[in-house]
Structure 1
Amino acid sequence: MGSIKQDIKETYLGLYETAQEKCSDFSQFLREAWPILAILLVVLLGVWWYADPPPPRHVVMATGQPGGSYDNLGKKYAAFFDKKGITLELVPTKGAEENVAHLVDRKDPVQAAFVQAGAFNPHEVTGVESLGTISYDPIWLFYRGPEIKVDDFQAIKARASFFLNSRMSVGLKGSGTYAQAMHILKANGFEEGAHFLNLSSTHSVEALQKGEIDAAFIVDAYEAPNVQKLLKDPKLHLVAFDRADAYVRLLPYMQILNVPAGAFSLTRNFPPRDIKLMASTTNLLIDDRMHPALQFLFLEAAREINGKASFFAEHGEFPSFKSTGLIQSPVALHYEKNGSPLLMLYFPFWLAELINRLVFVLLPFCAVAYPVLLTLPGYRNKRMKRKIDQLYGTLKGYEQELTENFLPEVKDEYLKRLDLLEYQALQLKVSKSMSGDYYALRASIDYVRNCLNRGAHPYQSQENDVGV
């Protein structure tokens, strides 16, 4: 029993002494290597700041017309960013054309925007990348008067002629509604008519309900207030795109949305039959210089806000990374395959970003610094060995003088020199691996001192002295 206690005690003492020795060696290492460590720290801070700067705390985003669905969506994104400690400033615009112009201008502060697919020419846009599509934008064509029922091509052509000769709003020029209306008209071989009006979505709804116009194109989400007003108005009718498959072939960015009979209103049985609607998609576009951390934040906002199930979209369908029309951001490609960085799932945004930046900088830094740090103990030992060798050299010089030119009257002077030499040796702070050299030096100094104290000529035997 006693032996076990003794073993535990000895083990504890051994661990304690080892830890104490390591702490002593480390503190000595810091005292000797602090200039090199300071230089490495400055380099690290420089790389950290310039190679991977922190994300800005303020971002500007272009949305759409005040009161529209993009304006409301932007407010949801701003609330999400606010929870993450980032200010998202919203800039209302007339529509897609203005939003793209903001992003293309390299001096413009706008860094993100909602833009409908098909509302711009991707080949004319530079410096802009896509974070994917975030929602469907159905193309609604509402009209007043008797319902037009068509089943063949001639009837479809007659219906088109009716709309071309009517007072119809095709949206504000530069808006996504206007762009989609023009695409559909041109696909049917028609140009903008003289009776067409360029009204905003809100004004189009008011004018159509008051009977001031006969028809209106609206490109907006099913849940949008403007769309809901028109769907609930029994005096208005909705045009179905019976040749939706053909439109998709001609306009590849288009999507087909299937609406079952009665889906909009079971009491009215509206629509009275299964119909197909055409839809564009909302692209989340960014300036390609946007900080990657902010891009991940936009994608997380899209997943939380736009990823919910809706009338046309299934849960988790958005953000989608197909048919965006522009080059996808590398961050979006990473997000599509791997999702958000693991740190963002468990830490606040600012802390996750700080850790990510530290890892990003520290890994390559350590690849350079680690070999340097490994050489420091060897460098320290060589430096200490050089000091010991210098003291040995001084001692050798004293011994040479004692052998060749010894004078009894200077004995005390030599002893003082040896005392000073031993004092210099005592000032050396050596590691455990250098202890043998250190104590060998001390023993050598003591040996020379003993020889000096032996007699009149310390390096000759008494017999030699007598013979002389």
Structure 2
Amino acid sequence: MRRLTLVLLSIRDLLVSAGPVLLLAVGLLVAAYWWLQPQPPKTVRLATGPEGSAYAAFGRRYVQALAREGITVQLIATEGSVANLRLLQDGGADVAFVRGGSGAAPLTAGASAAASEPAAAADPSESLQSLGALFYEPLWIFMRQDGQAAPGMLAQLKGLRVSVDQAGSGVPALMQRLLTASGLAADAVQLREQDARSAAQALLAGQLDAVVLTSAPQSPVVRELLRTPGIAPLELAQADAYTRRFPFLRTVTLPRGVADLAADVPPHDITLLAATTSLLTREQTHPALRQLFAQAAQGIHGRAGWLNGAREFPNTRTSELPVSPEGDRAINGTPPFWQRWLPFWASNLVQRMWLVIGGLIVLLLPLSRVVPPLYTYRVRQRVFRWYARLRQIETRAQDPRVPAAELLDELDELDRVAHHIAVPLAHADELYALRDHIATVRQHIRVLRKDST
């Protein structure tokens, strides 16, 4: 029992001695946590696209990926890439799929071909960042074909009924630029704006001559049209020339038979124009959420596809906007070792707070030097406080009017108190010194009173 008492007293003294330093450390940690807000919100808004589009399909996969980390992804259905970009700029979404060139201003109907020599798409907003390019989004121009069609030109659309998707998709503006660059007047093509599903049904029913849409090959509409006999995508003979005039476009090859090997669909390699779709985010979006989306993109978009090889995406090479640090680390860097062993919330806390923790260690190292002296002072004070009473008894012994028996009784009481004082073994010499001094004063009183008699 006495040993347990000694241990508890030592722990108490140690805690009291280190208390000021610990309170300072806790206070600084709480202040830093409040200022840095290391833990992200539990809900994030992702702008996708129309129902049935590749954007919507990818959005559902992000919902599943982030749900494993306790984050709820709210999907916002939109008309397409341009609407997503507008939502990001207005703060209506935190993350969005945005196709390259969506921020470029469309040309007016009377713009000249020379004016259509734009540089790369303008940076839509300085407050937006990229988490990496995710996939190619080809410009599909599906037309009725008789037999195997040779590479053609946009001039073939003259006088035809052509659907160019919804306004929010960005396809009408893009086609306007391409047609103008090709020398076609605004009224040379009968342009209509319909969503991809409705346009595909109208094409199959003979109500349209061509359908233009931009979508990843994962789109159900694209796959349906590719497998429909008599419908084929228009291969542009001047594809390379368009990529020079519109740098956000590039040429990709749709391999023969990739849609259906057994039916040999398509029957030959097709060169298509494509833009690169990126995952964009606002600077105000919590860094931990940006990290989660960038890491999820590795698993969702890293496999080989119809238009790309394995691990070609995500990448930072084809992003039009600056890539955020979280996206760059996820794509090009090596994740910290603690992310492999700690749950997300703990890993994120370490990553966001390591500078603060390191600073605290540097600050507390010199402050910790005061703890041992304080501890020693508290233990010694438990013994030294009785020396005041011992001195008082010794002083009263000089007065002959104070009875010796009274003084000796007080010394006996003081000795009993000292016998019950609990101190660590390292300070036991001070306790024995007190008891020795009590015995010395007792002997001194006896000698003094014997001489006085």
TM-score normalised by length of structure 2: 0.81
Cα pair 2:13 2:378 within 8 Å, conserved: no
Q: Secondary structure at the match of 2:402?
A: helix
Cα pair 1:308 1:316 within 8 Å, conserved: yes
Q: Secondary structure at the match of 2:280?
A: strand
Corresponding residue for 2:190?
195
Cα pair 1:59 1:111 within 8 Å, conserved: yes
Corresponding residue for 2:330?
335
Q: Secondary structure at the match of 1:294?
A: helix
Which whole-Å CA distance do the structure 2 matches of 1:291 and 1:370 have between them? 32
Q: Secondary structure at the match of 2:191?
A: coil
Q: Would you say 1:86 and 2:68 are equivalent positions?
A: no
Q: Would you say 1:450 and 2:443 are equivalent positions?
A: yes
- Name which structure has the greater RCO, CA cutoff 8 Å, separation 6+: 2
Q: Would you say 1:112 and 2:95 are equivalent positions?
A: yes
Corresponding residue for 1:287?
282
Match of 1:100 among 77, 80, 85: 85
Per the alignment, do residues 187 and 450 of structure 1 end up closer, same or farther by CA in structure 2, a change over 3 Å counting? Answer: farther
Shift of 1:188: 3.2
Comparing 346-355 and 84-93, the one that deviates more: 346-355
Corresponding residue for 1:11?
none
Shift of 1:452: 0.7
Q: Describe the superposition over 1:239-266 as per-residue Cα deviations: whole angstroms up to 9, x where unpaired.
A: 2233333333333332321234555566
Corresponding residue for 1:278?
273
Comparing 241-250 and 19-28, the one that deviates more: 19-28
Shift of 1:396: 4.3
Corresponding residue for 2:116?
none
Q: Would you say 1:436 and 2:436 are equivalent positions?
A: no
Q: Secondary structure at the match of 1:114?
A: strand
Which whole-Å CA distance do the structure 1 matches of 2:185 and 2:124 have between them? 23
Q: Would you say 1:69 and 2:62 are equivalent positions?
A: no
5+ unaligned residues in a row in structure 2: which ranges? 105-121
Match of 1:229 among 224, 231, 239: 224
Match of 1:321 among 291, 309, 316: 316
Within 5 Å, which residues of 2 pair with 1:38-437? 40-41=25-26, 43-106=28-91, 108=92, 110-121=93-104, 122-144=122-144, 159-190=153-184, 192-193=186-187, 195-261=190-256, 263-264=258-259, 273-346=268-341, 348-350=343-345, 352-353=347-348, 362-385=357-380, 391-392=386-387, 395-396=390-391, 398-400=393-395, 402=397, 405-407=398-400, 409-419=402-412, 422=415, 425=418, 429-437=422-430
Q: Which amino acid aligns with 2:77?
A: P
Which whole-Å CA distance do the structure 1 matches of 2:314 and 2:321 have between them? 15
Per the alignment, do residues 68 and 374 of structure 1 end up closer, same or farther by CA in structure 2, a change over 3 Å counting? Answer: same
TM-score normalised by length of structure 1: 0.79
Q: Describe the superposition over 1:37-91 as per-residue Cα deviations: whole angstroms up to 9, x where unpaired.
A: 4564455345345434422222221110122111111112212222333221111
Comparing 47-56 and 220-229, the one that deviates more: 47-56
Q: Larger helix proportion, structure 1 or 2?
A: 1
Cα pair 1:242 1:275 within 8 Å, conserved: no
Shift of 1:393: 5.2
Corresponding residue for 2:117?
none
Per the alignment, do residues 148 and 372 of structure 1 end up closer, same or farther by CA in structure 2, a change over 3 Å counting? Answer: same
Identity in percent: 28
Cα pair 2:199 2:211 within 8 Å, conserved: yes
Q: Which amino acid aligns with 2:230?
A: K
Q: Which amino acid aligns with 2:69?
A: K
Q: Secondary structure at the match of 2:202?
A: helix
Larger radius of gyration: 1
Cα pair 2:81 2:169 within 8 Å, conserved: yes
Cα pair 1:201 1:218 within 8 Å, conserved: yes
Corresponding residue for 1:7?
none
Corresponding residue for 1:9?
none
5+ unaligned residues in a row in structure 1: which ranges? 1-17
Corresponding residue for 1:30?
15
Q: Which amino acid aligns with 2:141?
A: L
Q: Secondary structure at the match of 1:255?
A: strand
Q: Secondary structure at the match of 2:97?
A: strand
Q: Describe the superposition over 1:255-288 as per-residue Cα deviations: whole angstroms up to 9, x where unpaired.
A: 3212345555667766565442111122111222
Which whole-Å CA distance do the structure 2 matches of 1:187 and 1:318 have between them? 30
Which whole-Å CA distance do the structure 2 matches of 1:176 and 1:242 have between them? 23
Shift of 1:394: 5.2
Cα pair 1:117 1:282 within 8 Å, conserved: yes
Comparing 334-343 and 307-316, the one that deviates more: 334-343
Cα pair 2:254 2:270 within 8 Å, conserved: yes
Per the alignment, do residues 362 and 184 of structure 1 end up closer, same or farther by CA in structure 2, a change over 3 Å counting? Answer: same
Shift of 1:216: 2.0
Which whole-Å CA distance do the structure 1 matches of 2:67 and 2:186 have between them? 43
Shift of 1:352: 4.5
Cα pair 1:113 1:284 within 8 Å, conserved: yes
Q: Which amino acid aligns with 1:114?
A: F
Q: Which amino acid aligns with 1:128?
A: L
Comparing 128-137 and 266-275, the one that deviates more: 266-275
Which whole-Å CA distance do the structure 2 matches of 1:453 and 1:341 have between them? 76
Q: Secondary structure at the match of 2:140?
A: strand
Q: Which amino acid aligns with 1:326?
A: L
Which whole-Å CA distance do the structure 2 matches of 1:124 and 1:228 have between them? 31
Q: Secondary structure at the match of 1:202?
A: helix
Which whole-Å CA distance do the structure 2 matches of 1:103 and 1:200 have between them? 22
Aligned length: 433
Q: Describe the superposition over 1:408-464 as per-residue Cα deviations: whole angstroms up to 9, x where unpaired.
A: 53434433554565566557554444333343233223211211122426xxxx5xx
